[in-house]
Amino acid sequence: MLGLPSVLALGGSRCRTPAGPDGTVREVWLAPQSGRTRSRPVVAGDVVFFADGDGAIVARDVATGNARWSTKVATPGTIEGAELVTGGDVVLAQSIRETIALRRSDGVERWRYSAPLDTTYDGNPGVVQATHAVADATTAYIPAWGASVSAVDLTTASPRWKWHFGRVSSDTAANVFRSGATGVAIAGDTVFAAVWHDRDVSSGGRDAFLVALDRQNGRELSRVALPRGTNGSVSVSAAPLVFTDVVVVATVYGYVYGVNRTSLEIAWTFRSAQFVFATLSQPAAMGDVLYIDGGDERLYALDAHNGAVLWTVASVGAFRDLFATSRRVYVTNGHSLLVHDRADGHNVATVTLPVDGEIMTTAAAARGDQIFITRSFGAWSFREP
């Protein structure tokens, strides 16, 4: 059933515009809302779309932060896709188990889509929490636990195709062990998917794969198993990043692999010698440079073609996905946001929120030099320093 948007008052601004939290950035606006959501905002023209902690998607004016419309699509605290996505005339949001499309102009719900069933035989649809979907002008490409990727028509929600990871030799005759597609990327006529797969029923060991799919029909073209780490396991939580000659996949245990885009052979590997912490954030890319959290409270810039370190600087362990503009790289551990110069990594600004317990709950987005990020108590915008 289509839900009607609850349109907020457009007359007066509910936003404030003082200086930034600690004087390091110039605030444009802060619009009160419950920000307990994972999903990164997304910009389309002069509108920026935020998810809020009450389960609504809010369309805000880029310049003022005023709400143009707000539509409740989920129960509180359950809009948990890695980011909001735009394609065609819709904005896509993901709850724990559903992808929801809203008309961008007025917030009217167009459709809901549940991914194919998970492989645990519990009757649950594929989980899309924390996954990275993408869309073009006509189609949404939705990865889910299962593992599956669905290509869904943006107008009708009809699946154009569905791909399933399926069984591997380590699965027992009685069960297909649990797996998940964590993110997809589109490149020409190919969809690349990052997938993890448990080697036993208790998740005691895990493998990870990069899979290439035909964009038109979902036919699997090839796959490569990523090398296991020193602990005998490998897993992914990010989406692939596609460059001219390589596809980059970052793993949970600090390994980053550059995979030849044509042959799907491993071209290069990077891992910090000081790796300590799990690396759950999506790397950022700009031009031919890859920016990653090294799992050692350092930020690295790598040449995407060969994995060579261009620079590295002290930063914070990334709590959400990294974000890069033409000038800066943004890393947050929740309470603090570090802004690094893209050319050499030096720290340009460190933003610490003034309220105890308040965090930045999402990664950043941008239009020009205006940055957007979700805080615990509001949708926030500031000028890039």
Among the ranges given (47-56, 193-202, 281-290, 337-346), the one the predictor scored with the smallest mean pLDDT: 193-202
| Torsions phi, psi for 356 (to 5 deg) | -55, 130
More confident residue, 137 or 171: 137
Residue 175 has pLDDT above 60, yes or no: yes
Cis peptide upstream of residue 135 (ω within 30 degrees of 0): no
Average pLDDT, the chain: 91
Domain that holds residue 139: 26-43+109-383
| CA gap 291, 259 in Å, rounded | 17
β-pairing verdict for 42-44 and 26-32: unpaired
The confidence band for 20, taking pLDDT boundaries of 50, 70 and 90, is very low
* Residue 265, token pair as written in the block: 């052979």
The pLDDT of residue 354:
78
How crowded is residue 228: how many other Cβ atoms within 10 Å of its Cβ?
18
| CA gap 381, 385 in Å, rounded | 12
Number of H helices, E strands in the chain: 0, 32
In a domain, 57, yes or no: no
SS3 26: strand
Q: Which amino acid is at 69?
A: W
Please state the domain count of the chain.
1
Residue 21 has pLDDT above 60, yes or no: no
Q: Which amino acid is at 365?
A: A
Among the ranges given (88-92, 97-101, 273-277, 357-361), the one the predictor scored with the smallest mean pLDDT: 357-361
* Residue 303, token pair as written in the block: 């040449």
Residue 251 has pLDDT above 60, yes or no: yes
Report yes or no: 331 and 316 within 8 Å, Cβ to Cβ: yes
CATH number at residue 241: 2.140.10.10
The confidence band for 177, taking pLDDT boundaries of 50, 70 and 90, is confident
Report yes or no: 177 and 196 within 8 Å, Cβ to Cβ: no
In a domain, 280, yes or no: yes
The pLDDT of residue 172:
79
Burial degree of 114 (CB within 10 A; 0-12, 13-18, 19+):
middle
State the pTM of this model: 0.93
The pLDDT of residue 121:
67
| CA gap 213, 208 in Å, rounded | 16
Residue 272 has pLDDT above 80, yes or no: yes
Mean pLDDT of 38-49: 97
The pLDDT of residue 12:
32
Residue 22 has pLDDT above 60, yes or no: no
The pLDDT of residue 8:
33
Residue 30 has pLDDT above 80, yes or no: yes
In a domain, 143, yes or no: yes
In a domain, 53, yes or no: no
| Residue 331 CB contacts under 8 Å (≥ 6 apart), including other chains | 293, 299, 315, 316, 318, 322, 337, 338, 340
Report yes or no: 325 and 1 within 8 Å, Cβ to Cβ: no
Q: Which residues pair with 299 in a beta bridge?
A: 293, 313
Mean pLDDT of 131-144: 98
In a domain, 171, yes or no: yes
In a domain, 178, yes or no: yes
In a domain, 76, yes or no: no
pLDDT digit string (tens) for 330-358? 999 998 999 999 999 999 999 988 777 88
| CA gap 25, 314 in Å, rounded | 20
In a domain, 84, yes or no: no
Cα 323 to Cα 47, 90, 172, 234, 371, distances in angstroms? 19, 23, 41, 24, 10
